[in-house]
Chain A
């Protein structure tokens, strides 16, 4: 039991580090033609954490990811990230039972959580800036659909393999 706890703590750290590295990799990619749009590769680490450690483990990975945003990109970005991530993690945890029952794959989970992330960020931006950001919403949601498919495909490929080692 004690061993199990230690392993979980180590895995949370590992996946949080993975989230940070994936954010860094994403920043190094050529910028997308649209402003304020990111692929959200770090969400791969959060969802993988929720599946491979425990739902609570996924929440811890997400919290650490937001703390890293706070340190590296400042309060505004962290506030937006926190609102988006909170909704995205909630959506992920709500849909994971469907994956366990083979009703859905991680593509569905990622699309839903990416959309939730976008909506959370728009809500945050509404409070912080202006409601005018919603004019950008349809485009952002369509991009969430795309990025959710990409990250979901990554998870579909990686999680069965990672299950063997975690």
Chain B
């Protein structure tokens, strides 16, 4: 007959199992989480650049404002912006799919996507 112990070592088996399962799913998720492209949306058009190629380009937005976008080591960041608030520069580097950097004065939005069809509009719909 079962006694009234509140806990047994056997209880650890499902608990460890759940932790391992969560760990596996988390690592599987993170390994797929990094985006492959950065989608650059400006009033003057859209481009997507692969994150695998290191590059530094000047993107011209509205009102003659431009931002300098740097892709380095699979991450993308804005290194310089004409706008006064510098929010996009302070956002830092992003590499996860779905993350974005926005420079509103210039109307430039950088979004990390997993493939070229994966534009934010397609997801939001």
Contacts and interface: CB of A to CB of B under 8 A. Distances in A.
Contacts of A103: 8, 10
Interface stretch (A67-75, A79-87, A108-116): A108-116
B14 A105 contact: no
Interface in A135-166: 135, 137-138, 141-142, 144-145, 148-149, 152-153, 156-157, 160
Contact of B11 (A100, A104, A134): A104
B19 A99 contact: no
A98 B17 contact: no
Nearest to A161: B4
Interface size class of A (residues with CB under 8 A): 20 to 34
Interface residues of B, number: 22
A115 B21 contact: yes
A145 B25 CA distance: 15
Given A111-B11, A115-B14, A145-B15, A134 B25 contact: yes
B7 A112 contact: no
Nearest to A51: B2
B6 interface: yes
Nearest to A152: B11
B125 interface: no
B26 A102 contact: no
Contact of A102 (B2, B12, B19, B23): B2
Interface of B: 2-8, 10-15, 17-19, 21-23, 25-26, 29
